[in-house]
Structure 1
C-alpha cells in the first residue's frame, strides 16, 4: 500500500508535537501530503448574550486554534513536504472520525495523549475514540 495522504490531528501537546515529527519524516520517505488538523469546540450556549458578542467569542476560539497550528507549521516549513493546516470547529473525536471515514487518508498519525492525560489511563480519550470508530491504519506516537 502506498501512503499518499496522512492525517495529523494536532492539539499542541508534547505527544502531538512528537506525532508531527513522525509524520514529517514518514511524509518525506513516502512523498505523502499531510493534513494537520486542530479541532476546537464551541461549548458555550448563552441565550441572553447579544449574538455579536457570541460571534466574537467564536471567532476568538477559531483564531486560538489557528495560532496553535503555528508550531507544526514551523516544523513542516521548508522541509520539502506538501501540507495544509486546518482549524475545524467541532468535537475532535467526531471531526477526526468523519475525516478518517472519508477515505481521503491512507494513514492517521496521532499522539497517544492530548492535553487531558487524565481522560485515559493508557490512551487519550480522543485517540481511544478514533481507534474504536475507524477502519484505516493509525500510528499512535508517545
Structure 2
C-alpha cells in the first residue's frame, strides 16, 4: 500500500515523539506528505477564578501547543519531509475525528498514549476515540 498523506497528531509526550519518528520514516519511504496537528483544550470547570487568570491559562495552553508544533516542524524540516502543521483549539478526539472524516489522509500515525491522565486500559482516550471513527489505517506507536 502506498501512503501519500499522513496525519500526525502530536502532544509533546514520549509516545508522540516516537510516533513522529515513525511517521518520518514512513514519509521518507513512501514520499508522503505529513500534516502534524497539536490540539489544546480549555477546560472551563474552574469556579471562582478571575477572567485574567483564565485568559492567562488559555494563553499558556496555546503557547505550549505552538511550541510542540515548532519542535515537530523542526524535526520534519530537518528530515526533508513535505509537511504542513496546525495548532487547533478544541478537544483532541473531536478535532482529530473531524479531520479524519475529510478523507484527506490515507494513514494516521499516533502514539498509544499522550499526556492525558485519563486513559483506557490499553490505549489513551484520544487514540481510542480516533480508532472508533476511522476509515483509513491507523498506526499506533507504543
Task: State the TM bucket, normalised to the shorter chain.
Answer: 0.7 to 0.9
Question: How far, CA to CA, are the matches of 1:4 and 1:28 in structure 2?
Answer: 11
Q: Please give the root-mean-square deviation of Cα atoms over the aligned residues, in Å.
A: 2.1
Shift of residue 70 of structure 1?
A: 3.0
TM-score (norm 1): 0.87
**Residue matched to 1:76:** 76
The corresponding residue for 2:125 is 125
Deviations 1:24-74 (A, max 9, x none): 010011111101111001122779845x76555433321121012233223
Equivalent position of 1:140 in the other structure: 140
Structure 1 portions without partners, runs of 5+: none
State TM-score, norm by structure 2.
Answer: 0.87
* Structure 2 unmatched runs, 5+: none
Aligned length: 141
Task: Output the CA distance in 1 between the equivalents of 2:29 and 2:94.
Answer: 30
Alpha-carbon shift at residue 5 of structure 1 (Å) = 0.7
Moved over 2 A (4+): 44-50, 52-61
Looking at structure 2, the residues matched to 33 and 132 of structure 1 have their Cα atoms a distance apart, in angstroms, of: 24
1:109 aligns with 2:109: yes
